[in-house]
Amino acid sequence: MAGAGAARPTSRDVARVAGVSQATVSLVLGDKWRGRVSERTARLVRDAAGELGYRPNLAARNLRLGRTRTALLVVPALTNEFFARVYTGAAAVAARHGFGVVLYPSPEGVGPARDPFASARAALDGVIASSMAADALRAIRGTDLPLVMLDSDPADSDAAAHVNLDIADGMRQVTDHLLALGHRRFVHLSSAVPSWTFDVRGRALAACLGGVPGVGVRTVPAPLEVNGAREAAERALTAPGPRPTALVCDDDIVAAGACKAVRRLGLRVPEDVSVTGFDDLALATAVEPELTTVRLPAERIGERGMTALLDVLEGRPPERGDLPVTLMPRGSSGPPPAP
């Protein structure tokens, strides 16, 4: 084993110890030896590399291969805990395969972002992007960079792979829960951010409640921030006609604003109005009462997204099927008040 002060071992040193050529060392350590050298020779090379403490120069190798082993992850905002967890999952898988992940959040938090690598697309091997930041990719679409879309329209033909959550089932779980408690007057506080994932939530809610006798549902757009959501909820709760008994929110942040609106109007959660969210962020258990919400496996989305990109780069079919989501019933939902 080379000492602390010794020169870093080279592939030439490995070849000398193993009694093979440098070309053979490159084949074995680049995992391209099968069918070209014997199992015995491959084992000799790996043993010699381990004995010497040799590590391939990945930077030089990647330059020769035209690969940088770098993926770009485009998300709406780092201030949103959900996307920070998506990054954690993607980075964990990337690290296991010798890849790095460059994170690019939209400067405005939501909506379109500038072309993040207008002069450096050659420094990327592929892109993973949330549907909420899809407009940031206009300059990248149409290039030869493979694109993996997260939580996005599966009909998008520009993407090499899609990783989706079963969002519609999550909304079905919410509505089944509230209907079982006896709710019949609903307001859907829908995110005002244009995105496929929020469109799915709205369609799923309408489909779940549309055929139920005696049920009324009204949709009120709400900004994806607490104060704007509070104002939207106050308008919904004070509108003419019978007061809704359940506020179904597209996001936990919107739900937090809805809870504030209920209290500011002198009402109680859930005795007067039940509130549900979506995501299961940390704030879902920080508010009081704790928020009934749908848990989305954010880290798993990142893991699947990075794995799908690696599959595309290696010519393998990515894993199919939506990731399951889970209703987390907590204190913010209960039976409606007596008539």
| Amino acid type, 305 | G
- Between 171 and 63, the higher pLDDT residue: 171
- How is residue 194 written in tokens? 């244009």
Q: What is the DSSP string of 201-218?
A: HHHHHHHHHHTSTT-EEE
Per-residue pLDDT of 274-305, as tens digits, reads: 999 999 999 999 999 999 999 999 999 999 99
- How is residue 123 written in tokens? 């420094």
Per-residue pLDDT of 78-129, as tens digits, reads: 667 898 899 999 999 999 888 889 887 755 544 444 455 444 445 678 889 8
- Could you tell me the sign of the dihedral formed by the alpha carbons of 304, 308, 310, 316, in that order? positive
Separation between Cα atoms, residue 194 and residue 178, nearest integer Å: 26
* % of the chain surpassing 90 pLDDT: 52
Contact predicate 148/162, CB 8 Å: yes
Question: C-alpha angle with apex 205: 333 to 199, nearest 5 degrees?
Answer: 120
- Between 233 and 74, the higher pLDDT residue: 233
Where are the strands (E) in 171-279, listed by range?
A: 185-191, 216-222, 246-249, 274-276
Listed residue (269, 319, 299) closest to 88, CA to CA: 299
pLDDT value at 254 more than 50: yes
Query: What is the H or E stretch that residue 80 is in?
Result: none
| Cβ atoms < 10 Å from Cβ of 57 | 12
Separation between Cα atoms, residue 230 and residue 89, nearest integer Å: 32
- Between 135 and 230, the higher pLDDT residue: 230
Contact predicate 81/104, CB 8 Å: no
Confidence at residue 120, expressed as pLDDT on a 0 to 100 scale: 44
pLDDT value at 306 more than 60: yes
Confidence at residue 69, expressed as pLDDT on a 0 to 100 scale: 83
Q: Is 100 helix (H, G, I), strand (E, B) or coil?
A: strand
Separation between Cα atoms, residue 295 and residue 328, nearest integer Å: 7
Separation between Cα atoms, residue 246 and residue 308, nearest integer Å: 38
- Between 331 and 7, the higher pLDDT residue: 331
Separation between Cα atoms, residue 185 and residue 191, nearest integer Å: 19
- Model confidence at 7, in pLDDT bands (50, 70, 90)? low
Name the residue with tokens 């199919």: 320
Confidence at residue 119, expressed as pLDDT on a 0 to 100 scale: 40
**pTM of the predicted structure, to 2 decimals:** 0.76
Cis peptide before 297 (omega within 30 of 0): no
Per-residue pLDDT of 172-209, as tens digits, reads: 999 999 999 999 999 999 998 888 899 999 999 999 99
From residue 17, alpha-carbon distances to 13, 26, 48, 53, 285 in Å are 6, 14, 6, 12, 59
Confidence at residue 160, expressed as pLDDT on a 0 to 100 scale: 86
- How is residue 208 written in tokens? 């779940």
- Model confidence at 134, in pLDDT bands (50, 70, 90)? low
Confidence at residue 12, expressed as pLDDT on a 0 to 100 scale: 82
Residue 225 buriedness (CB in 10 A; 0-12 / 13-18 / 19+): middle
Compute the CA torsion angle 44, 48, 51, 57 (nearest 10 deg): -130
**pLDDT, averaged across the chain:** 85
pLDDT value at 61 more than 50: no
Separation between Cα atoms, residue 230 and residue 220, nearest integer Å: 12
